[in-house]
Amino acid sequence: MHLEHPAEEAVCRLLRSRASHGTFRSFSVRRLRGQLAFSFVWLRERPFRLVFNADRSRLEFRDVLPNLPAKEPMYKDLRRFVKGRCDAELPEHRRIAPERLRVKSRNRKGSVTLSVESLDADWDYAVSKALKFVNEVFLGFLRGPYHEYMVKNLGEPED
């Protein structure tokens, strides 16, 4: 695949390294309306779609949380959690520096997309923090009082 932008090359290389390491499985990349679309199996053995828009310096994990209407308290909690990723009280290795990355959640008809936007074009930092961010949502935030949501939507065993 022809990579048109140095940023694309960097992001592709960084994600591929996670696939070679074995963290991601069934890894693939294709071009989708001018953007790079990565697919891989990762947390909870689920397929993830990560879209990189080089023009906007944005990495988007598309539709990571299904069936979560914006009016639900859980989504409000998620927004607080997302905002809290930049909290100055977090240790540096857990914190997203707001001057370097803009972190967001977006809800479209109950489907939640998580994204980070690089402000300094440091792709090592952006990719690493984007992965940590989603990892924290799955292994931190979702371990809150959302057992029923997990069972219904993310394949959590009832037992």
Partner 1 sequence: MPAKKPIQRTSVSRRRFVAKGAAAAAAAAGSAASAAIDPQGDAIKVPREVPDSLGETAKPADFPMTGAQVFAKACKDEGLAALFCAPGNYAVINAIASEGIACYGGRTEGMMCSAADGFTRVTGEVAAASGTEGPGFTNMIMSVAAANAARTPLLVLASNMTIGLEDTEHGIQRVYQQPTTEGMKKYGKRLINPERVHEYAGYAFRQLKTGVPRPVHLDFPGEVARQRFDSPEDLRFFHDRSKYRTESKPHPSPKEIAKAADLIGKAERPIIVASAGVFYSKAWEALRTVAEKGDIAVVESGPSRGHFGDEHPLSANTAPDALLSADLVVLAGQYCMPNVGEYSFDPDATYIRIDPDASDIGRNLPVDLGIVSCEKAALEALAEALPPKRRPAWRDELAAARASFDTENDEHYRLGLKYSADAGCVHPAVIAKAIGDLLYDGDLPKDQTTVVSGGYGIARYTRRRLRAFRPGQICNGAYQYGAIGPDVGYTVGAGAAVLQGTGPQSPYRGAPVLAVTGDAGFAYSGMEIETLSKYRIPAIVVVYNNNAWGVWRTGQSGGRSNTAKAQHMYLFQENLRYEKIGEALGARGEYVAKAEDFAPALARSYEAAARERLSTVINCQAIKEFWSARDYPPGLLQKVEPGCMAYYH
Per-residue contact track with partner 1, 8 to 27, x per CB under 8 A? Answer: ----------x--xxx-x--
Asked if 123 touches partner 1 (CB under 8 A), the answer is: no
74: its two tokens? 């859980």
Q: Which is nearer to partner 1, 52 or 146 (CB)?
A: 146
Least CB distance to partner 1 at residue 55 (A): 26
- Give the DSSP H or E segment for 82: helix 73-84
Least CB distance to partner 1 at residue 156 (A): 8
Nearest in space to 19 (alpha carbons), one of 27, 30, 8, 11:
27
Q: In a 10 Å sphere around its CB, with 0-12 CB exposed, 13-18 middle and 19+ buried, how is residue 118 labelled?
A: buried
- Give the DSSP H or E segment for 101: strand 101-108
91: its two tokens? 């240790």
Asked if 42 touches partner 1 (CB under 8 A), the answer is: yes
State which of residues 43, 51, 70, 86 lies at the interface with partner 1 (CB under 8 A).
43
Give residues in contact with partner 1 (CB under 8 A): 18, 21-23, 25, 42-45, 91, 93-94, 128, 131-132, 135-136, 138-140, 142-148, 150-152, 158-159
